[in-house]
Structure 1
Amino acid sequence: MTATPTDTVRDFYTKLAAADAPGALGLMDPDIEWITMWHYKVEGRGPGAVAEGLFKPLMAEWTSFSLVPIEFVTEGDTVVSLGNFTGVHGVTGKTAEARYAHVWTVKGGKITRFRQFIDTLAIADARRR
């Protein structure tokens, strides 16, 4: 049975929660476009660019973090996940709790595009000393 776009996105969050970065990156199309609202910027395209521009700096800045999807809305190849980011900032020790909306495009079982919308004020407050 072929995975639906929602199955693929759920699998991504499951792999992140299990600290399986290679598995999460493996769900991405080689030409994935990754768009964020944070100070992390993914330059270029592809899983390697996501690892360098997002995963590595995110893991370096936050001593712990989780993304917990609460709801999924799917229309064709597009999946919107609504959920909560919780993280402990490595320098300030403050906890951030931020609501997010992630918009995913999945084609042929691979994530081809990601767009992030998040409560950036909650993140900024945790980063502020």
Structure 2
Amino acid sequence: MTANPTDVIRDFYDKLATGDAPGALGLMAPDIEWTTMWHYTVEGRGPGPVAEGLFKPLMAEWTSFSLVPTEFVTEAETVVSLGDFKGVHGATGKTSEARYAHVWTVSGGRITTFRQYIDTLAIAQARI
């Protein structure tokens, strides 16, 4: 039995929260399309480009960060998670708190697309 889409996305956030990046990447379809709305760029499709273009630079730039979903809205294979990004920027030591909306598509128990919408001003202010 395939997990429902909301459970897959909750599992993704849980894995990130415990530092299990390989487990989070393992929830992705081999051809996942990942779209970010800030300065990280995922070039190409698949978990490898997500790790290289997002996970590695994110962990290098922020000394600590968390993504805390506060609400899930699900319609068929689409899951929207609303929540909070909180992080401490490594170079400036400034704290950022930014609201986000993540739009996910889950098919066959795997994440196939991701689109990010985030308060980019709140992020930018921590970087300067």
TM-based fold match above 0.5: yes
Counterpart residue number, 1:47: 47
1:78 aligned to 2:93?
no
Q: How does 1:55-66 map to 2 (within 5 A)?
A: 55-66=55-66
1:6 aligned to 2:9?
no
Counterpart residue number, 2:127: 127
Q: Is the 8 A contact 2:2 2:108 kept in 1?
A: no
Supply the distance in 1 between the matched residues of 2:17 and 2:38 (Cα, whole angstroms): 20
Q: Once the two structures are superposed, what CA deviation does each residue of 1:63-106 show, in whole Å capped at 9, x if it has no partner?
A: 00000000000000000000000000000000000000000000
Amino acid at match of 1:112: T
- Secondary structure at the aligned position of 2:39 is classed as coil
- Secondary structure at the aligned position of 1:43 is classed as coil
TM-score (normalizing by structure 1): 0.98
Q: How does 1:1-40 map to 2 (within 5 A)?
A: 1-40=1-40
Supply the distance in 1 between the matched residues of 2:104 and 2:53 (Cα, whole angstroms): 18
5+ long unaligned stretches in structure 2: none
Percent of residue pairs bearing the same amino acid type: 82
Amino acid at match of 2:123: I
Counterpart residue number, 1:104: 104
- Secondary structure at the aligned position of 2:82 is classed as strand
Supply the distance in 1 between the matched residues of 2:123 and 2:31 (Cα, whole angstroms): 28
The ranges of structure 1 where at least 4 consecutive aligned residues each deviate by more than 4 angstroms after the TM superposition are none
Once the 2 structures are TM-superposed, how far is the Cα of residue 2 of structure 1 from its aligned partner? 2.8
Amino acid at match of 2:119: D
Supply the distance in 2 between the matched residues of 1:121 and 1:22 (Cα, whole angstroms): 30
TM-score (normalizing by structure 2): 0.99
Supply the distance in 1 between the matched residues of 2:17 and 2:66 (Cα, whole angstroms): 7
Amino acid at match of 2:74: T
